[in-house]
Structure 1
Amino acid sequence: MTVTNVLIRILRNYRHMGPGKFHAFVLKIVRALTDNPKIPASTWGANPNLLATFLEVGAKYDGVYHKANYGSVLDISEREILQQQLIAYLDEMVADLEAESVRNPEILIYCGFDLAKERRGNTRKKIAHAAAEATVAEHYTDNT
Protein backbone atom coordinates (compact mmCIF):
# COMPACT_ATOMS: atom_id res chain seq x y z
CA MET A 1 0.00 0.00 0.00
CA THR A 2 1.37 3.40 -0.87
CA VAL A 3 1.28 6.46 1.31
CA THR A 4 -0.97 8.25 -1.19
CA ASN A 5 -3.80 5.79 -0.51
CA VAL A 6 -3.79 6.40 3.24
CA LEU A 7 -4.55 9.69 4.94
CA ILE A 8 -3.31 9.84 8.53
CA ARG A 9 -4.86 12.43 10.79
CA ILE A 10 -4.81 13.21 14.49
CA LEU A 11 -7.87 12.27 16.49
CA ARG A 12 -9.28 15.06 18.60
CA ASN A 13 -10.71 12.68 21.19
CA TYR A 14 -9.23 14.70 24.07
CA ARG A 15 -12.15 17.14 23.89
CA HIS A 16 -14.56 14.70 25.51
CA MET A 17 -12.34 12.99 28.09
CA GLY A 18 -13.06 13.00 31.77
CA PRO A 19 -10.53 14.57 34.13
CA GLY A 20 -8.64 11.33 34.85
CA LYS A 21 -8.18 10.29 31.24
CA PHE A 22 -7.44 13.87 30.20
CA HIS A 23 -4.73 14.10 32.87
CA ALA A 24 -3.07 10.91 31.60
CA PHE A 25 -3.38 12.17 28.01
CA VAL A 26 -1.74 15.51 28.84
CA LEU A 27 1.13 13.73 30.59
CA LYS A 28 1.60 11.53 27.51
CA ILE A 29 1.71 14.56 25.21
CA VAL A 30 4.12 16.38 27.53
CA ARG A 31 6.48 13.37 27.52
CA ALA A 32 6.23 13.03 23.73
CA LEU A 33 6.89 16.69 22.93
CA THR A 34 9.50 17.57 25.56
CA ASP A 35 12.96 17.72 23.96
CA ASN A 36 11.87 15.60 21.00
CA PRO A 37 14.48 15.88 18.20
CA LYS A 38 12.03 14.35 15.69
CA ILE A 39 9.76 17.41 15.93
CA PRO A 40 11.57 20.53 14.72
CA ALA A 41 11.03 23.94 16.32
CA SER A 42 9.77 25.19 12.95
CA THR A 43 6.60 23.14 13.54
CA TRP A 44 5.39 25.86 15.89
CA GLY A 45 6.32 28.61 13.40
CA ALA A 46 3.05 30.54 13.65
CA ASN A 47 3.23 30.54 17.45
CA PRO A 48 6.77 29.80 18.68
CA ASN A 49 5.73 30.03 22.35
CA LEU A 50 2.90 27.50 21.98
CA LEU A 51 4.84 24.48 23.21
CA ALA A 52 6.36 26.34 26.17
CA THR A 53 2.96 27.73 27.17
CA PHE A 54 1.36 24.29 26.85
CA LEU A 55 4.06 22.71 29.03
CA GLU A 56 3.63 25.45 31.65
CA VAL A 57 -0.16 25.11 31.79
CA GLY A 58 0.19 21.31 31.70
CA ALA A 59 2.41 21.37 34.80
CA LYS A 60 -0.07 23.65 36.54
CA TYR A 61 -2.93 21.32 35.56
CA ASP A 62 -1.04 18.36 37.01
CA GLY A 63 -0.80 20.05 40.42
CA VAL A 64 -4.40 21.25 40.41
CA TYR A 65 -5.63 17.83 39.27
CA HIS A 66 -4.10 16.17 42.33
CA LYS A 67 -5.46 18.84 44.68
CA ALA A 68 -8.94 18.56 43.11
CA ASN A 69 -9.03 14.86 44.00
CA TYR A 70 -9.64 15.93 47.60
CA GLY A 71 -12.96 17.45 46.54
CA SER A 72 -12.33 21.17 46.92
CA VAL A 73 -14.87 23.03 44.79
CA LEU A 74 -12.34 25.78 44.04
CA ASP A 75 -9.72 23.29 42.89
CA ILE A 76 -12.26 21.44 40.75
CA SER A 77 -13.36 24.67 39.06
CA GLU A 78 -9.73 25.68 38.47
CA ARG A 79 -9.06 22.22 37.00
CA GLU A 80 -12.01 22.69 34.61
CA ILE A 81 -10.73 26.11 33.51
CA LEU A 82 -7.22 24.76 32.93
CA GLN A 83 -8.62 21.79 31.02
CA GLN A 84 -10.43 24.14 28.62
CA GLN A 85 -7.22 26.15 28.13
CA LEU A 86 -5.27 22.98 27.42
CA ILE A 87 -7.88 21.85 24.91
CA ALA A 88 -7.48 25.16 23.05
CA TYR A 89 -3.68 24.71 23.04
CA LEU A 90 -4.02 21.11 21.89
CA ASP A 91 -6.25 22.20 19.01
CA GLU A 92 -3.59 24.70 17.89
CA MET A 93 -0.86 22.09 18.24
CA VAL A 94 -2.82 19.56 16.20
CA ALA A 95 -3.30 22.08 13.40
CA ASP A 96 0.43 22.87 13.37
CA LEU A 97 1.43 19.20 13.46
CA GLU A 98 -0.94 18.26 10.65
CA ALA A 99 0.36 21.15 8.54
CA GLU A 100 3.95 20.05 9.17
CA SER A 101 3.05 16.45 8.35
CA VAL A 102 2.48 17.46 4.74
CA ARG A 103 6.25 17.85 4.39
CA ASN A 104 7.25 15.24 6.99
CA PRO A 105 4.56 12.55 7.50
CA GLU A 106 6.61 10.74 10.17
CA ILE A 107 6.13 13.63 12.57
CA LEU A 108 2.68 12.32 13.47
CA ILE A 109 4.14 9.07 14.76
CA TYR A 110 6.31 10.87 17.32
CA CYS A 111 3.85 13.52 18.51
CA GLY A 112 2.03 11.35 21.08
CA PHE A 113 -1.49 12.04 19.82
CA ASP A 114 -3.91 9.27 18.87
CA LEU A 115 -3.99 8.73 15.11
CA ALA A 116 -6.60 7.55 12.62
CA LYS A 117 -6.03 6.17 9.17
CA GLU A 118 -8.48 6.91 6.43
CA ARG A 119 -8.19 4.82 3.33
CA ARG A 120 -9.17 6.97 0.40
CA GLY A 121 -9.48 4.20 -2.17
CA ASN A 122 -11.95 2.23 -0.07
CA THR A 123 -14.20 5.27 0.33
CA ARG A 124 -14.16 5.97 -3.39
CA LYS A 125 -15.17 2.39 -4.13
CA LYS A 126 -18.08 2.63 -1.70
CA ILE A 127 -19.26 5.87 -3.31
CA ALA A 128 -19.00 4.38 -6.79
CA HIS A 129 -20.85 1.25 -5.66
CA ALA A 130 -23.63 3.32 -4.06
CA ALA A 131 -23.96 5.42 -7.23
CA ALA A 132 -24.21 2.27 -9.35
CA GLU A 133 -26.89 0.86 -7.06
CA ALA A 134 -28.84 4.12 -7.26
CA THR A 135 -28.66 4.04 -11.05
CA VAL A 136 -29.88 0.45 -11.14
CA ALA A 137 -32.70 1.22 -8.70
CA GLU A 138 -33.70 4.26 -10.76
CA HIS A 139 -33.69 2.16 -13.92
CA TYR A 140 -36.00 -0.45 -12.38
CA THR A 141 -38.48 2.14 -11.08
CA ASP A 142 -38.63 3.82 -14.53
CA ASN A 143 -39.39 0.53 -16.29
CA THR A 144 -42.21 -0.56 -14.00
Structure 2
Amino acid sequence: MTSQRILRNYRSIGPTKFHHLNQKFRNSLLDYNKIPESFWAAHPQLREEYREASEKYDLIYHESMLGSKLAIAERERRQEELVGLLDEIASLLDMAAVRTPELLILSGFDLAKERRTHSRAKKAAASQNDQDSIPA
Protein backbone atom coordinates (compact mmCIF):
# COMPACT_ATOMS: atom_id res chain seq x y z
CA MET A 1 0.00 0.00 0.00
CA THR A 2 1.30 3.49 -0.79
CA SER A 3 0.37 6.87 0.56
CA GLN A 4 1.65 10.30 -0.29
CA ARG A 5 3.22 12.92 1.92
CA ILE A 6 4.44 16.43 1.29
CA LEU A 7 8.15 16.85 0.73
CA ARG A 8 9.46 19.79 2.67
CA ASN A 9 12.21 20.41 0.12
CA TYR A 10 11.67 24.17 0.31
CA ARG A 11 13.45 24.40 3.67
CA SER A 12 17.06 24.47 2.53
CA ILE A 13 17.24 25.81 -0.99
CA GLY A 14 18.64 29.00 -2.42
CA PRO A 15 16.60 32.17 -2.84
CA THR A 16 15.94 31.86 -6.58
CA LYS A 17 14.63 28.30 -6.39
CA PHE A 18 12.68 29.17 -3.24
CA HIS A 19 11.11 32.15 -5.00
CA HIS A 20 9.97 29.96 -7.91
CA LEU A 21 8.61 27.27 -5.59
CA ASN A 22 6.79 29.83 -3.48
CA GLN A 23 5.18 31.30 -6.60
CA LYS A 24 3.93 27.80 -7.47
CA PHE A 25 2.64 27.25 -3.92
CA ARG A 26 0.94 30.65 -3.83
CA ASN A 27 -0.81 30.08 -7.16
CA SER A 28 -2.16 26.76 -5.93
CA LEU A 29 -2.87 27.48 -2.27
CA LEU A 30 -4.73 30.75 -2.86
CA ASP A 31 -6.81 29.39 -5.76
CA TYR A 32 -10.32 28.59 -4.45
CA ASN A 33 -10.80 26.16 -7.35
CA LYS A 34 -7.89 24.07 -6.08
CA ILE A 35 -7.95 24.50 -2.31
CA PRO A 36 -11.51 25.06 -1.15
CA GLU A 37 -12.54 27.66 1.40
CA SER A 38 -13.56 24.82 3.72
CA PHE A 39 -9.88 23.89 4.14
CA TRP A 40 -9.02 27.40 5.32
CA ALA A 41 -12.17 27.81 7.47
CA ALA A 42 -10.49 26.51 10.62
CA HIS A 43 -7.39 28.67 10.01
CA PRO A 44 -8.47 31.81 8.13
CA GLN A 45 -5.65 33.91 9.59
CA LEU A 46 -3.05 31.45 8.26
CA ARG A 47 -4.17 31.96 4.68
CA GLU A 48 -3.98 35.73 5.05
CA GLU A 49 -0.61 35.59 6.84
CA TYR A 50 0.78 33.41 4.08
CA ARG A 51 -0.56 35.68 1.33
CA GLU A 52 0.91 38.78 2.93
CA ALA A 53 4.26 37.15 3.70
CA SER A 54 4.46 35.80 0.16
CA GLU A 55 3.79 39.21 -1.38
CA LYS A 56 6.39 40.88 0.87
CA TYR A 57 8.91 38.16 0.02
CA ASP A 58 8.31 38.65 -3.70
CA LEU A 59 9.02 42.38 -3.40
CA ILE A 60 12.16 41.99 -1.30
CA TYR A 61 13.40 39.14 -3.48
CA HIS A 62 13.41 41.40 -6.54
CA GLU A 63 14.94 44.26 -4.56
CA SER A 64 17.71 41.97 -3.25
CA MET A 65 18.75 41.15 -6.81
CA LEU A 66 20.34 44.61 -6.90
CA GLY A 67 22.86 43.39 -4.31
CA SER A 68 21.91 45.49 -1.28
CA LYS A 69 23.13 43.74 1.87
CA LEU A 70 20.17 45.06 3.82
CA ALA A 71 17.73 43.72 1.21
CA ILE A 72 19.50 40.34 1.17
CA ALA A 73 19.30 40.10 4.96
CA GLU A 74 15.60 41.02 4.84
CA ARG A 75 15.01 38.43 2.10
CA GLU A 76 16.62 35.73 4.25
CA ARG A 77 14.47 36.73 7.25
CA ARG A 78 11.31 36.68 5.17
CA GLN A 79 12.26 33.33 3.63
CA GLU A 80 12.56 31.85 7.14
CA GLU A 81 9.13 33.30 7.98
CA LEU A 82 7.63 31.76 4.85
CA VAL A 83 9.22 28.38 5.58
CA GLY A 84 7.49 28.39 8.99
CA LEU A 85 4.13 29.23 7.40
CA LEU A 86 4.63 26.60 4.68
CA ASP A 87 5.47 23.98 7.32
CA GLU A 88 2.24 24.82 9.13
CA ILE A 89 0.22 24.66 5.90
CA ALA A 90 1.89 21.38 4.89
CA SER A 91 0.99 19.82 8.25
CA LEU A 92 -2.63 20.90 7.87
CA LEU A 93 -2.74 19.54 4.32
CA ASP A 94 -1.29 16.21 5.47
CA MET A 95 -4.05 15.95 8.06
CA ALA A 96 -6.79 17.02 5.65
CA ALA A 97 -5.53 14.55 3.04
CA VAL A 98 -6.66 11.65 5.22
CA ARG A 99 -10.21 12.47 4.12
CA THR A 100 -9.47 14.37 0.90
CA PRO A 101 -6.27 12.97 -0.67
CA GLU A 102 -6.55 15.11 -3.81
CA LEU A 103 -5.70 18.20 -1.72
CA LEU A 104 -2.07 17.10 -1.72
CA ILE A 105 -1.93 16.96 -5.50
CA LEU A 106 -3.70 20.30 -5.92
CA SER A 107 -1.59 22.08 -3.29
CA GLY A 108 1.45 22.64 -5.51
CA PHE A 109 3.80 20.96 -3.02
CA ASP A 110 6.15 18.23 -4.22
CA LEU A 111 5.05 14.81 -3.02
CA ALA A 112 6.78 11.59 -2.04
CA LYS A 113 5.27 8.16 -1.88
CA GLU A 114 5.57 6.22 1.32
CA ARG A 115 5.71 2.52 0.80
CA ARG A 116 4.64 0.19 3.51
CA THR A 117 6.21 -3.23 3.42
CA HIS A 118 4.44 -6.38 4.39
CA SER A 119 6.34 -8.29 7.05
CA ARG A 120 4.76 -11.60 5.96
CA ALA A 121 6.31 -11.30 2.53
CA LYS A 122 9.72 -10.67 4.08
CA LYS A 123 9.34 -13.64 6.43
CA ALA A 124 8.28 -15.91 3.57
CA ALA A 125 11.27 -14.82 1.48
CA ALA A 126 13.65 -15.37 4.40
CA SER A 127 12.12 -18.78 5.09
CA GLN A 128 12.52 -19.76 1.44
CA ASN A 129 16.19 -18.66 1.50
CA ASP A 130 16.79 -20.75 4.64
CA GLN A 131 15.27 -23.81 2.99
CA ASP A 132 17.35 -23.28 -0.16
CA SER A 133 20.57 -23.27 1.86
CA ILE A 134 19.85 -26.62 3.62
CA PRO A 135 21.65 -29.49 1.85
CA ALA A 136 19.39 -32.34 0.73
User: Would you call these one fold, judging by a TM-score over 0.5?
Assistant: yes
TM-score by length of 1: 0.80
Provide the C-alpha distance between the structure 1 equivalents of 2:52 and 2:94, rounded to a whole number of angstroms: 23
- Corresponding residue to 2:16 among 12, 16, 20: 20
1:52 deviation in Å?
1.3
Tell me, yes or no, if structure 1 residue 70 matches structure 2 residue 40.
no
Contact conserved, 1:39 with 1:110, CA < 8 A, in 2? yes
Structure richer in helix, relative to its length: 1
1:46 deviation in Å?
4.4
User: What SS does structure 2 have at the residue aligned with 1:13?
Assistant: coil
The count of residues paired between Structure 1 and Structure 2 equals 131
- Corresponding residue to 2:80 among 75, 80, 84: 84
Tell me, yes or no, if structure 1 residue 124 matches structure 2 residue 114.
no
TM-score by length of 2: 0.84
Tell me, yes or no, if structure 1 residue 54 matches structure 2 residue 50.
yes
C-alpha RMSD of matched pairs (Å): 2.5
Contact conserved, 1:61 with 1:83, CA < 8 A, in 2? yes
Tell me, yes or no, if structure 1 residue 32 matches structure 2 residue 28.
yes
AA of the residue aligned to 1:11: L
Contact conserved, 2:28 with 2:34, CA < 8 A, in 1? no
* Paired-residue identity, %: 47
Contact conserved, 1:44 with 1:96, CA < 8 A, in 2? no
Provide the C-alpha distance between the structure 2 equivalents of 1:126 and 1:43, rounded to a whole number of angstroms: 38
Cα offsets for 1:53-84 (capped at 9, x unmatched): 11111011011001101110100000000000
User: What SS does structure 2 have at the residue aligned with 1:118?
Assistant: strand
Q: Unmatched 5+ residue regions in structure 1?
A: none
